[in-house]
A and B are shown apart, each in its own frame.
Chain A
């Protein structure tokens, strides 16, 4: 009788790679959730990290330092580690994503500024610029993945 669960060494390594990917995804979501919950629960001011009045946001210095460390980990160290461990196809796709994020800011910020100067919409703000980069990067990455 054939043992269907028996696979070659390559399949085992592929499953291990997939498990690692799911772990990183879950861990990133957990870190993001902790950051969001902490900001929401410990905000001492009237501001909001995700709107234009972020300068009114007030946090305990220790919590601010802990959040900054988590943001550095979540948005810099973890992606850099991931970038080093992915294969060349996903690295190509990530580079398309990074390029898209960069172009979104290079073109998006001056466009936003002149549109505001012409009476269209609110003035550019730091979170809006960050969002431009994030959305530009995400859209470009998804396009690169869809193309393959």
Chain B
């Protein structure tokens, strides 16, 4: 699944470790989501959306 996580993170000048800490997951999890190798669970997707104050579908896209 494609996502805009890396772009959103870069816009805030956050490292992967910074985003991981804010989401309470490991840095490896952030990296895996950014590279599309891991699709987050629905609860984590909601946490990500809340952190960036966006809707889930504005961050994740399963149609690309």
- Chain A residues in the interface with B (C-beta under 8 A): 7-15, 17, 86-90, 92, 147-148
Contact indicator A14/B29 (Cβ below 8 Å): no
Task: Give the contact-size bracket for chain B.
Answer: 20 to 34
Taking A8-B14, A88-B41 as contacts, is the C-beta distance between A14 and B28 under 8 angstroms? no
| B window 9-57: CB within 8 A of A | 14-15, 17-29, 32, 37-38, 40-41, 44
- Chain B residues in the interface with A (C-beta under 8 A): 14-15, 17-29, 32, 37-38, 40-41, 44
Of A13, A89, A90, A92, chain B has the most CB atoms within 10 Å of the CB of A89
Give A75 to B24 CA distance when docked, in angstroms: 26
Q: Which of A11, A12, A87, A147 contacts B25 (CB 8 A)?
A: A87
Instruction: Note all chain A residues with C-beta closer than 8 A to B23.
Output: 10
Contact indicator B21/A12 (Cβ below 8 Å): yes
Contact indicator A8/B26 (Cβ below 8 Å): no
Contact indicator B18/A17 (Cβ below 8 Å): no
